[in-house]
């Protein structure tokens, strides 16, 4: 064992995001797995499920109260919404203070937690050890809207379509390939958690209409933005290039990006930039892999910052 490495544990590692995170950790020079918890896979070897991992570690199912004794410097909570607090409370009661990154929505509205959308919140980093990872749709929406936030004339309207991996591994209509075949399934057309999240962190109301499609991974968000003043396409694109030109995990492209081209890739793409004839409305398309830049990759960005290594360490760049 390399004693200079930080030990990392994953709680709820059976899901799609947990698997992607293990792949990233396996390639990371400064991290090693301390534990991976999954009740369903308890006792099974990790390398039997994630080929990229090399080691003897097995999945386990520790009680929440036992987590602080497992020796992790970093803990990722990959649990359903509403389940993170019990784990956080266990660390607090034990007086153990690892870096904790929560993938659920539980702390995205809690000002005591750092909201880790690096491209938009990097400047507010103050060495926090409790990090709330943004939602996948919320990431795409915020990246699409932020460069024009100061010239909006009305709430942005966002139409989203995600692959069914975004619905998790618990069986439901939204991740049933047979029900999704030749179908586009709308859901939560008002009040979606990511609508609330994007609105909160942008500081402007956002309207969002999500759908699930038959493909497995990757999402696209098409946003219609009404502007308070006339803008040319060139001026709009200039704003996005200025905002993201130096961001390694956000690509600004001319044409509207295709979701099929973003699967298994770690960056977001933003393009299209269709401006209405009067110059006061622009339509922008963003794509990202919901399991990577929408989840595991962004977790890794946040962990890297927290442990003091380069933000893109172990993340394959475009």
Q: How far apart are CA 194 and CA 201, in angstroms?
A: 10
* Mean pLDDT in residue range 104-111: 96
Q: What is the pLDDT of residue 171?
A: 73
* Range 22-32 burial, b when 16+ CB lie within 10 A, else e: bbbbbebebbb
pLDDT band at 248 (very low <50, low <70, confident <90, very high): very high
Provide, for the chain, the percentages of residues in helix, strand and coil under a 3-state DSSP scheme, each rounded to the nearest 5.
35, 25, 45
Q: If we measure between CA atoms, which residue out of 78, 100, 105, 80 comes closest to residue 90? A: 100
The answer to whether residue 2 scores a pLDDT higher than 80 is no
pLDDT for the residue 1: 44
Residue 87 appears among annotated catalytic residues:
no
| Reported pTM | 0.95
Whether 6-133+294-307 and 136-289 share one fold: the answer is no
Q: Which position among 11, 50, 72, 136 bears the catalytic label?
A: 136
Calculate mean pLDDT across residues 190-198. 96
User: Is CATH 3.40.50.720 the classification given to domain 6-133+294-307?
Assistant: yes
For residues 67 and 75, the answer to whether their CB atoms sit within 8 Å is yes
Q: What is the pLDDT of residues 118-176, one digit of tens each?
A: 999 999 999 999 999 999 999 999 999 999 999 999 999 999 999 998 776 667 788 88
- CATH 1.10.246.90 corresponds to the domain 136-289: no
**pLDDT for the residue numbered 102:** 97
Burial degree of 278 (CB within 10 A; 0-12, 13-18, 19+)? exposed
Q: Backbone phi, then psi, for 159, in 5-degree steps? A: -110, 120
Task: Check pLDDT > 50 for residue 231.
Answer: yes
Check residue 169 and give its pLDDT: 63
Rounded CA gap, 5 and 21, in Å?
Answer: 17
Considering only CA atoms, which of 110, 115, 73, 67 is closest in space to residue 92? Answer: 67
Angstrom distances, CA of residue 219 to CA of 114, 156, 186, 189, 233: 25, 18, 14, 16, 24
Structural domain boundaries in the chain: 6-133+294-307, 136-289
Segment 103-126 mean pLDDT: 96
At residue 315, the 3 state secondary structure works out as: coil
**Could you tell me how far CA 50 lies from the centroid of its own chain?**
20
Mean pLDDT for the chain overall: 95
- Please give the distance of CA 145 from its chain centroid, rounded to a whole number: 17
The span from the CA of 55 to the CA of 255, in Å, is 43
Tokens of 311: 């933000």
Confidence (pLDDT) at 207:
98
Cβ burial of 9 (10 Å; 0-12, 13-18, 19+) is buried
Helix, coil or strand: residue 100: strand
The pLDDT of residue 168 is: 67
Q: What percent of the chain has pLDDT over 70?
A: 98
Kindly report, residue by residue over 48-72, the tens digit of the pLDDT. Answer: 999 999 999 999 999 999 999 999 9
**Does pLDDT of 14 surpass 70?**
yes
């Amino acid at each position: 064992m390399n004693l200079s490495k930080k030990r990392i544990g994953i709680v709820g590692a059976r899901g799609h995001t947990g698997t992607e995170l293990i792949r990233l950790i396996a390639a990371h020079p400064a991290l090693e797995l301390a534990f991976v918890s999954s009740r369903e896979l308890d006792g099974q070897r990790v390398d039997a499920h994630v080929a990229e991992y090399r080691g003897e570690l097995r999945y386990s199912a520790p009680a929440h109260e036992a987590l602080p004794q497992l020796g992790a410097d970093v803990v990722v909570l990959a649990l359903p919404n509403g389940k993170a607090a019990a784990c956080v409370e266990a660390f607090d009661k034990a007086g153990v203070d690892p870096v904790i990154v929560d993938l659920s929505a539980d702390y995205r509205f809690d000002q005591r937690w750092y909201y880790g959308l690096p491209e938009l919140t990097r400047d507010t980093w103050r060495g926090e050890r409790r990090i709330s990872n943004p939602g996948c749709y919320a990431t795409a929406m915020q990246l699409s809207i932020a460069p024009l936030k100061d010239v909006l004339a009305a709430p942005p309207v966002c139409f989203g379509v995600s692959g069914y991996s975004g619905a998790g591994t618990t069986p439901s209509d939204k991740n049933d390939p047979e029900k999704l075949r030749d179908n586009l399934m709308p859901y939560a057309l008002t009040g979606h958690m990511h609508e609330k999240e994007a609105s909160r962190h942008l500081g402007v109301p956002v309207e969002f209409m999500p759908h699930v499609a038959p493909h497995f991974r990757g999402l696209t968000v098409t946003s219609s933005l009404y502007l308070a003043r006339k803008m040319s396409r060139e001026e709009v694109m200039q704003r996005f290039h200025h905002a993201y030109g130096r961001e390694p995990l956000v690509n600004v492209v001319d044409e509207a990006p295709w979701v099929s081209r973003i699967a298994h890739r770690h960056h977001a793409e933003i393009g299209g930039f269709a401006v209405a004839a009067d110059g006061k409305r622009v339509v922008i398309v963003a794509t990202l892999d919901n399991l990577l830049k929408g989840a595991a990759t962004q977790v890794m960005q946040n962990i890297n910052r927290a442990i003091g290594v380069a933000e893109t360490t172990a993340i394959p760049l475009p």
